[in-house]
Amino acid sequence: MNKPLRRIAIFCGLLVLALLIRDNWVQLVQAEDLKTDSKNRRVDIARYAQPRGNIIVDGKSITGSTVVNGNDFKYKRTYKNGKLWAPVTGFASQGFGATQLESLYDPILTGDDDRLFFNRTIDMLTGKQQKGGNVVTTLNSKAQKAAWDGLGDSKGAVAAIDPRSGAILALANKPSYDPSKFAGVGKKDSDAFNSLQKKNDPEDPMLNRALRQTYPPGSTFKIVTAAAGLESGEYDLDKRTQSEVPYRLPQSTNDLGNDGNNPACKNASVRVALQWSCNTVFAKMSHELGNEKMMEEAEKFGFNRDQDSGSQDTPVRPAPSLYPKDNQPQNALAGIGQASNQATPLQMAMVASAVANDGKLMKPYMVDQLVAPNLNVVEQTKPKELSQPVSSENAQKLQQAMETVVNDGTGSSGKIPGVTVGGKTGTAQHGENNEDNPYAWFISYAKTDDGSPVAVAAVVESSDTLRSDIAGGKLAAPIAKGVMEAVLDGKQ
């Protein structure tokens, strides 16, 4: 071969080599980036080329799909009673992506999950349309509806758990939104989505309050403080404490009193202090135990856990609930659920759940099964123990005290005839110098011969109630009662 031809051959060989390198680079290195690039419409077109699998509650789908015309997407998502279930499903929108269950389990719902390879192969060989799998939740439709109805026109949230397994039974928010309104593309969908953004709606209807909003838990946190006191061995359920009224906060000239100046709070036992929600007893207890012990106990219940620590198996990582490292006066106030103490409704449901389950806290989860189109189970969630915040003996003492709260104390609105109910009310200060309306809380559980099938946390963030009438026992307890009754009715 003469020299010019050899040069041409070498040059062509280098071009082929460069092409092969570039091709492999694109397919092996850049593939994922190209696949997820926002300008790559092929992925979205494929996602909506067939009906999505469904999200299942109580054996029935709460989602669907419908054919649309006029764009590249053949199907769009539909929702049954979208506002009720939005805190659970999230949304799947042709124009705005997906969130929560719709996002987390998108490969299952579209049928693209590697575990559905056999199903895809059969569909391809038989010429059938690809099908998505289903996401089977742990939710209880009656409990969810009871929570929604109970909130009424109030802003707030409800979380309910089965203490025996950790299965989440209800997650309800108000205000809420209907994901169907912006499931497609076009001006109407865009306008609907934009109208729901916080900058356009200060009520922030797309905020998942049950999981992502933290509030001062108020007096419901006294259950955690009481648990720390009992676990320390320095306090007993019915032994009187040396608790002056009012209580002078440590390193402070400020005095802390009790609601209504209840005389029963002076030197009250743990049971009586929970019964009448005595600030003085629990602020003093928190101070005497110290910030380190209080943090340690709170963390056993789930506080201060990093979002990636796996404390919950939920579709959107819950905002962390916080019991902070703090100075003595702030620690005393944190012991009654104020200061920098912050908790989600799910977290406070976990507190009630652990007490109801004789001190054993199960890991909350929302998805029971992932099911292939042929109904084969692809994945099954197994209940897991998260921690033991309190001994069985002390948990049973706390149960006695919480049942006293409902039977003869501030939580009488949560009473269910013929059912053993334990609860704790809370009214948490809100705003600088408590200038805003307080938050009304109630946490509770109901017991049967087979243990406790439900623990609930309800918080009312705002309502039309006069400020003087805002109290956990008045506003939140009836909501929790309705949820407990719904679950119990399903067990009969």
> Beta strands 247-248 and 255-256: pairing type?
antiparallel
80 CB-near residues (< 8 Å, 6+ apart): 61, 62, 63, 64
From CA 171, how far away is CA 169, in angstroms rounded?
Answer: 7
Distance in angstroms between the alpha carbons of the first and the last residue of the chain? 92
Q: Which two tokens stand for residue 464?
A: 């039309």
SS3 content of the chain, % helix, strand, coil (to 5): 45, 20, 35
Of 141, 176, 219, 311, which residue is the catalytic one?
Answer: 219
390 CB-near residues (< 8 Å, 6+ apart): 227, 230, 231, 300, 354, 355, 359, 398
Mind spelling out the 3-state secondary structure of 425-481? EEEEEECHHHCEEEEEEEEEEEEECCEEEEEEEEEEEECCCCHHHCCHHHHHHHHHH
Known catalytic membership, residue 286: no
H-state helical runs in 315-421? 328-334, 345-356, 392-408
Residues designated as active site: 219
